Structure 1
Amino acid sequence: MALAVVHFLWKIPSATSLRARLRRSLQLCNRCYPVHASLSYEAIKQQYRPEVPEYFNFARDVLDRWTEVEKEGKKSKNPALWWVDGAGEEVRWSFEELGVLSRKVANVLSDACGLQREDRVILILPRIPEWWLVNVACMRTGTVLIPGTQQLTAKDILHRLQKSKAKCIITDDSVAPAVDSIGAQCQSLKFKLLVSEGHREGWLNFKDLLKNAPSDHHCVTTKCQDPMAIYFTSGTTGSPKMTEHSHSSYGIGLTVSGRYWLDLTSSDIFWNTSDTGWAKSAWSSIFSPWIQGACVFVHKMPHFDPSIVFESLSRFPITVFCSPPTAYRMFVQHKLSSYTFKNLRHCVSAGEPINPDVMEEWKAQTGLDIHEGYGQTETVLICGNFKGMKIKPGSMGKPSPGYDVKIIDENSNILPPGKEGDIAIRVKPTRSLFLFTCYADDPEKTEATIRGDFYVTGDRGIMDEEGYFWFVGRADDVINSAGYRIGPFEVESALVEHPAVVESAVVSSPDPIRGEVVKAFVVLTSDYASHDPEKMMKELQDHVKKVTAPYKYPRKMEFVQQLPKTISGKIRRNELRQKEWRKD
């Protein structure tokens, strides 16, 4: 049964009233949301009527409600979280156990660290159960969570700590040395929590504190528009921006993803392979599945390995699966006839466009369609191929019922079908509560996203006569490589720190597996111009990996005498990018 979140969002009532309303919502849910119903797109738009109350907290208003459902025996026996490490270790937590443990972590944050609501907490952990506990605990305490990937370098972490003014960082012993190397430069950083065995000077041991923390905790009262999380996202110029989301934008806005795109119910076991540092992990490893009461399946998988994916889909009763197009491109290069995914019934993909031929090959080998979805760090699902819809391979599907999506021109005029323009979401006269609230501490960049009555995504697209949207490309120079958004400025800045580089320009270049990769055009100093090109490229690639997150390094490089520039001296990245893509 799918818990109808839109029907139980209310101001904080008594416990008796909560149980009564929960029962009514479940009864309504059984009538209105039949299991795995293939609704038409128009029916989805009619059915989706979210109610946004003044107060909302996902931990209290969703997760704790599912605990009540478990106690009443009205939910499947599936756990809330099912984690495996591939070596025989497993963790299975019910919603009740998740609640108890997350309250203990909330007490660690409040008591041991003295954190107050809206204090910022940076979390850098791999796919381990503690990552989920900290996410929920931050909701309970009203602290603002800032996730990060473990690929961040000391320089990246320094930027995030200084820009966010975070008071606490939570990580493990693989990242702790980098934090210590820059910690003295972060005046706001007061507490460091280590999620590892043993102890480290200057750090609090997370597991020791958790063991001794009380399990009673009163969830703070948060308004829908109070800040809940911040995600750093790359831009065309400058350092990554802080994209702030409220308690309602993900906690309520992702209802449409869980129910209609992922097609989840409380009987499902859902696996999303996203890295914990990205917003997609919040989308599909926390909010969308738990809104529906589904089980979140997690494989530790330190490094992506198709064989581990195939074995897990065969061994575990996973029913719904989400992975980026890059992964599916790897999957279809293998013969899957030796594997049987007997429980798998629904597959989705997001993060970048997926090739029609990959969709065709996946279906030929598994019998399953891939339902593509489109969204951004700043949004929830913008467009999707919803369950029951006709799939047009290569299309992002139709607009989410939570948004009014249009294709507009440079003057904010709505374009007719077949005309290319900017993909935009209407925000006037009323801004959707399911958009990011702002780029934190940067009102100018926030305002720059608005054109006329619309929030402009920065992506170009076309809508066809049937209302399907088709992705054309980025309107700016941000590179989307295997789902990783990489700003050219960050890579160029890393390159010019090397004494061999006079200047550089970074653009996207086509790649059969990753879709596109980072390519750098580099002008060398006279002292290095005669060096062996292959050795020089390797040296510069290694340099970038050390200066910034390794996934940003240029996989391709071309040494040139000069870069194309405008009259005012700005590098014409667009000219270089067009040159690259004409080669394909």
Structure 2
Amino acid sequence: MSSLLEEYVSRTDFGSYEDFKKNFKINIPENFNFAYDVVDRYAMEQPDKRALVWCDDNGNELVYTFKDLKHYSDKAANLFKKYGIEKGDVVMLTLKGRYEFWICILALHKIGAVALPATHMLTTKDVTYRIELSNIKMVVSADDEGLMGYIDEGHKGYEDILLHKASLNGGREGWLDFTKELEEASADFTRPEGEAATKNEEIALLYFSSGTTGLPKMVQHDFAYPLGHIITAKYWQNVRDDGLHLTVADSGWAKCVWGKLYGQWISGTAVFVYDYERFDAKNMLEFASKYGVTTFCAPPTIYRFLIKEDLSQYDFSSLEYCVVAGEPLNPEVYERFLEFTGLKLMEGFGQTESIVSIATYPWMEPKPGSMGKPSPEYDIELLNLDDEVCDFGEEGEIVINTSKGKTVGLFAGYRSDEKKTNEVWHDGYYHTGDMAWKDEDGYFWFVGRSDDIIKSSGYKIGPFEVESALIEHPAVLECAITGVPDATRGQIVKATIVLAKGYVASEELKKQLQDHVKKATAPYKYPRAVDFVD
């Protein structure tokens, strides 16, 4: 068996990062549609190739081949069409870790409708906001009474916009039974042609992305976007054909399509979905071991919980490669994981607006805490406040040079918000809003959001620096660093801390932690306020 990868890239193998950066290129065919050109293509040529392995905490498990996914996505496409969903219509999916998410998003791609994945933690206000801004025509939800209640409340007054609500098993007044309807739907669906066919520049996907200020923005991605995730999956996560990849992410977040869909299937690996109600490190380790996960991606928070367990009790013989993203990696976590597994954690950076745009690639030696180097096809620069390119060691904003055109995988602007789009994307640059510095080897180091920098007594303090120092102390399981107002200093650094097992909050421990930070980094960065929480 083989993947379809070679059809979409200039080359598949590279001898060094420099070779990769210079010679890698993604080939974008006309009118690419991931559902037809990848999933249905596999279904035709390699029907029994494993695509999705799903399990939950109740002992349920399913394995879907590409043939299965074509069958069910065709049925779902007919189901959506039955209820009036056409090309360009927005359908919200609040499906947690349910396998129906993959069926639905493929079906919507086939129709040319716009998929809007959303977290199951939405409240009434969130639902109303999304209906108003994106004109959601239909919603498919997991069977969650609280969530469906919020959707019902948010729906009031918008019945002429949101026309249909479906839950997986129905049973609620005013809601369709998605499972029953799917079973009854025809599996005969033909790829649309002419004006009904999708085009690369048309919108396939929407995400509401929160910033540090203001209400969430609607990030738009076009039908060519999945091809950008070849870089994410094949060359950062290092997935392999016929492997099994696990990214820890619920279907409501962009990290799901980063790690559980596009690049992985193009590269030929199956994706593993563990549908849990509440994260438990032991269960995660047991399932990853049981099913033979080969590549793994998670944020540092997850790794921090994993290394607190007795890793010697688990079989990692199938595990070949691990990456980390979502927040900067603390060196302590890197060293502990390496000690237990022998695997080096390879960091990466990106946003809801992009694919992985800076990463530690397989040919590179990782520097714990560094994001790595720019991805191919991404011209990354650091600009200071005067819009000048930064020197080595100088902090600046991460920007993507798009003067030669939109980079593959980069978003298509903020929907219905030209002003906000122009604020971040102008003069040939997309401004990420994230601050970093670059060392003399070309590695990038994250500092923080441009508006998250703490300014205290004239000093500029990046929250991550303080967090990294604190997390090295054995008493600290989790911590968050924030700036709080202070009459004398303008702001002071505050640490909110969850203690590890065996430690009890006290003034003495607070003083120990403050002294620890003073020794680990510049003394002026220590947290003057410390709050211990559960």
TM-score grouping bracket, smaller chain normalisation: 0.7 to 0.9
- 1:208 is paired with a residue of what secondary structure? helix
Aligned equivalents of 1:157, 1:312: Cα separation in 2: 33
Partner of 1:354: 329
Letter in 1 for 2:136: A
Aligned equivalents of 1:101, 1:381: Cα separation in 2: 30
Conserved? CA contact 1:326–1:515, under 8 Å = no
Partner of 1:537: none
Partner of 1:89: 60
- 1:382 is paired with a residue of what secondary structure? strand
Partner of 1:386: 361
Aligned equivalents of 2:51, 2:407: Cα separation in 1: 29
| 1:336 maps onto 2:311 in alignment | yes
Of residues 38, 53, 67, the one that matches 2:29 is 53
The CA deviation at 1:405 is 0.5
Aligned equivalents of 2:6, 2:69: Cα separation in 1: 23
Letter in 2 for 1:102: S
Of residues 152, 156, 161, the one that matches 1:180 is 152
The CA deviation at 1:229 is 0.6
Letter in 2 for 1:155: K
Partner of 1:3: 3
| 1:402 maps onto 2:377 in alignment | yes
| 1:237 maps onto 2:213 in alignment | yes
Letter in 2 for 1:183: H
Aligned equivalents of 2:482, 2:130: Cα separation in 1: 23
The CA deviation at 1:247 is 1.0
Of residues 101, 104, 126, the one that matches 2:96 is 126
| 1:199 maps onto 2:163 in alignment | no
Aligned equivalents of 1:519, 1:87: Cα separation in 2: 43
- What does the per-residue CA deviation read over 1:96-145, in whole Å, with 9 as the maximum and x for residues that have no partner? 1111101100111112x111111111110121110111111111111111
**Structure 1 residues 241, 581: closer, same or farther in 2, change over 3 A?**
farther
- What does the per-residue CA deviation read over 1:402-441, in whole Å, with 9 as the maximum and x for residues that have no partner? 2001111223322222211011100113221321101100
Conserved? CA contact 1:44–1:260, under 8 Å = no
TM (normalized to structure 2)? Answer: 0.83
Partner of 2:408: 433
Partner of 2:69: 98
Comparing 184-193 with 396-405, greater Cα deviation is found at: 184-193
Aligned equivalents of 2:92, 2:483: Cα separation in 1: 31
The CA deviation at 1:317 is 1.1
- 2:156 is paired with a residue of what secondary structure? helix
**Structure 1 residues 514, 107: closer, same or farther in 2, change over 3 A?**
farther
Conserved? CA contact 2:233–2:264, under 8 Å = yes
**Structure 1 residues 108, 581: closer, same or farther in 2, change over 3 A?**
farther
Partner of 1:246: 222
Conserved? CA contact 2:6–2:12, under 8 Å = no
**Structure 1 residues 581, 476: closer, same or farther in 2, change over 3 A?**
farther
The CA deviation at 1:237 is 2.8
The 5 A counterparts of 1:524-539 are: none
Of residues 184, 190, 208, the one that matches 1:218 is 190
The CA deviation at 1:388 is 2.4
Conserved? CA contact 1:118–1:227, under 8 Å = yes
- 2:436 is paired with a residue of what secondary structure? strand
- What does the per-residue CA deviation read over 1:525-550, in whole Å, with 9 as the maximum and x for residues that have no partner? xxxxxxxxxxxxxxxxxxxxxxxxxx
Aligned equivalents of 1:583, 1:384: Cα separation in 2: 34
Aligned equivalents of 1:297, 1:436: Cα separation in 2: 26
Conserved? CA contact 1:395–1:470, under 8 Å = yes
The 5 A counterparts of 1:149-164 are: 149-164=119-134
**Structure 1 residues 169, 579: closer, same or farther in 2, change over 3 A?**
farther
Aligned equivalents of 1:5, 1:244: Cα separation in 2: 25
Letter in 1 for 2:229: L
- 1:200 is paired with a residue of what secondary structure? coil
Conserved? CA contact 1:311–1:339, under 8 Å = yes
Partner of 1:14: none
| 1:70 maps onto 2:46 in alignment | yes
Letter in 1 for 2:363: G
Aligned equivalents of 2:526, 2:260: Cα separation in 1: 36
Conserved? CA contact 1:253–1:402, under 8 Å = no
The CA deviation at 1:517 is 6.2
Of residues 390, 393, 405, the one that matches 1:418 is 393
The CA deviation at 1:86 is 3.2
Of residues 182, 185, 189, the one that matches 2:162 is 189
- 1:159 is paired with a residue of what secondary structure? helix
Runs (5+) with no aligned partner, structure 2: 455-462, 472-476, 487-523
- What does the per-residue CA deviation read over 1:201-229, in whole Å, with 9 as the maximum and x for residues that have no partner? 21111011101111111234211111011
CA RMSD between the two structures: 2.6
Letter in 1 for 2:52: L
- 1:84 is paired with a residue of what secondary structure? strand
Partner of 2:480: 516
Partner of 2:518: none
- 1:176 is paired with a residue of what secondary structure? helix
Conserved? CA contact 1:412–1:453, under 8 Å = no
TM (normalized to structure 1)? Answer: 0.76
Aligned equivalents of 1:231, 1:212: Cα separation in 2: 30
**Structure 1 residues 152, 478: closer, same or farther in 2, change over 3 A?**
farther
Conserved? CA contact 1:226–1:246, under 8 Å = yes
- 1:397 is paired with a residue of what secondary structure? strand
The CA deviation at 1:286 is 0.7
Conserved? CA contact 2:8–2:26, under 8 Å = no
Report percent identity of matched pairs. Answer: 36
**Structure 1 residues 90, 395: closer, same or farther in 2, change over 3 A?**
same
- What does the per-residue CA deviation read over 1:237-294, in whole Å, with 9 as the maximum and x for residues that have no partner? 3211101111112x11111111111111222101111121110011101112111121
**Structure 1 residues 453, 48: closer, same or farther in 2, change over 3 A?**
same
Partner of 1:569: none
Q: How many residues align?
A: 472
- What does the per-residue CA deviation read over 1:6-49, in whole Å, with 9 as the maximum and x for residues that have no partner? 6259xxxxxxxxxxxxxxxxxx9xxx546xxx741022224421
Aligned equivalents of 1:581, 1:283: Cα separation in 2: 35
The 5 A counterparts of 1:12-27 are: none
